[in-house]
Amino acid sequence: MYEVQRGSRGVIGTSVMNHATFGNHLLDALPREEVGRLSAHLRRVFLHRGQILASPGDAAEFLYFPIDALLWSWTTTTGAERPTSLLTTGRRGAMSLDSLLDLPSTHGNVAVLSPGSAWRVARTALESLSRAIDSPIRRMLTRFAYASFAVCAYRLACNSEHNVDRRLARWLLFIMDETGKPEASLTHQQIADVAAIRRPSVSLAFSDLQRRGIVRVHHGLVQILNRERLERETCPCYTAIRVALEDALSGESLSELSASG
Ligand SMILES: [Zn+2]
């Protein structure tokens, strides 16, 4: 009998987990055949802090599947002093979907927030691989695009309803989930920009978490010392976002499960 592992939501079959070798959840959830077609076009790269990957109006040259790098896209359309965060993603996602969605160019800036590795595929290769509307990679990335839309909506709702402490806890958990590490190399200003929280409020919230032994912040390194307690500090939006991202993975896993009988 086929064994299925269930998380809080979503379904991941063991056959999918067996070829989970990329370290990016989207790639690892693709059917074997699609991985075979794609792997020749994937190149592992190291992304440096602050590296600019795309600017508004560019046709993004590559699609990135982060492993432990954290990528960020933002806009300055409000004219405000600080940037407006659009999408932050790591190993549970991909960055620069405009080629897949047949958009001529990207709308936001894309940069590396926290350094690390990623797989990248050239736009031209992806266009050829995903030409069929029902190709697994296209279906997967379309589901991720929808999940990203849901995540934006949850974030907006959270920003208007929940206090800074809970939102910061949500962001820290999110970042750890995206990088797969209990620590991240991020400054207070970077977290303030990504989380849409004023920098003095970030520092105050960090002081409180640090005093209580939940996190440690030292020389630009944020370490989670007690994840369980941090989860108790956050709001339900953290789980809503996690489930939206898990659901983006479930389709191909389910189709492979049914194909395997
Ligand atoms: Zn919230």
pLDDT bucket at 251, cuts 50 / 70 / 90: low
Residues 241 and 228 in one domain: no
Bridge partners, 201 (sequence order): none
Structural domain contains residue 197: yes
Structural domain contains residue 134: yes
Planar angle of CA 136, 115, 141, nearest 5 degrees:
15
CATH code, 196: 1.10.10.10
Domain count, the chain: 2
Q: How far is the CA of 153 from the centre of ligand 1 (A)?
A: 11
**pLDDT over 70 (residue 241):** yes
Residues 243 and 198 in one domain: no
Rg from Cα positions in the chain = 18
Q: How far apart are CA 41 and CA 166, in angstroms?
A: 41
Q: How far apart are CA 83 and CA 193, in angstroms?
A: 6
Q: How far is the CA of 56 from the centre of ligand 1 (A)?
A: 29
Residue pLDDT, tens place only, 207-238: 999 999 999 998 889 999 999 999 999 999 99
Q: How far apart are CA 173 and CA 50, in angstroms?
A: 22
Q: Contacts from 158-164 at CB under 8 Å and sequence distance 24+?
A: 158/235, 158/237, 159/196, 161/235, 162/235, 162/237, 164/197, 164/201, 164/202, 164/204, 164/205
Structural domain contains residue 250: yes
**pLDDT over 70 (residue 18):** no
Q: How far is the CA of 236 from the centre of ligand 1 (A)?
A: 6
Q: How far is the CA of 146 from the centre of ligand 1 (A)?
A: 20
Residues 169 and 80 in one domain: no
Q: How far is the CA of 158 from the centre of ligand 1 (A)?
A: 4
Q: How far is the CA of 170 from the centre of ligand 1 (A)?
A: 7
Structural domain contains residue 217: yes
CB contact burial 78-104 (16+ within 10 A = b; e otherwise): eeeeebebebbbbbbbbbbbbbbeeee
Structural domain contains residue 261: no
Residues 114 and 229 in one domain: no
Q: How far is the CA of 123 from the centre of ligand 1 (A)?
A: 35
Q: What is the pLDDT of residue 174?
A: 96
Q: How far is the CA of 163 from the centre of ligand 1 (A)?
A: 8
Residues 142 and 78 in one domain: yes
Structural domain contains residue 173: yes
Residues 44 and 148 in one domain: yes
- Between the alpha carbon of residue 174 and those of residues 143, 178, 219, the distances in Å are 19, 6, 21
DSSP type of residue 9:
S
Residues 170 and 245 in one domain: no
Q: How far is the CA of 195 from the centre of ligand 1 (A)?
A: 11
Residue pLDDT, tens place only, 64-114: 999 999 999 988 877 777 888 889 999 999 998 876 777 777 778 999 999
Phi, psi for residue 239 in degrees, rounded to 5: -70, -40
Q: How far is the CA of 82 from the centre of ligand 1 (A)?
A: 21
CATH code, 11: 2.60.120.10
Q: How far is the CA of 99 from the centre of ligand 1 (A)?
A: 32
Residues 60 and 184 in one domain: no
Residues 43 and 131 in one domain: yes
Residues 245 and 140 in one domain: yes
Q: How far is the CA of 164 from the centre of ligand 1 (A)?
A: 9
Structural domain contains residue 66: yes
Q: How far is the CA of 185 from the centre of ligand 1 (A)?
A: 24
**pLDDT over 80 (residue 138):** yes
Query: For the chain, what percent of residues have pLDDT higher than 70?
Result: 87
**Domain range spanning residue 182?**
163-233
Residues 184 and 86 in one domain: no
State the chain's mean pLDDT as an integer: 85
Residues 65 and 126 in one domain: yes
Q: Please compute the mean of the pLDDT values over residues 169-194 and round it to a whole number.
A: 93
Q: How far is the CA of 161 from the centre of ligand 1 (A)?
A: 7
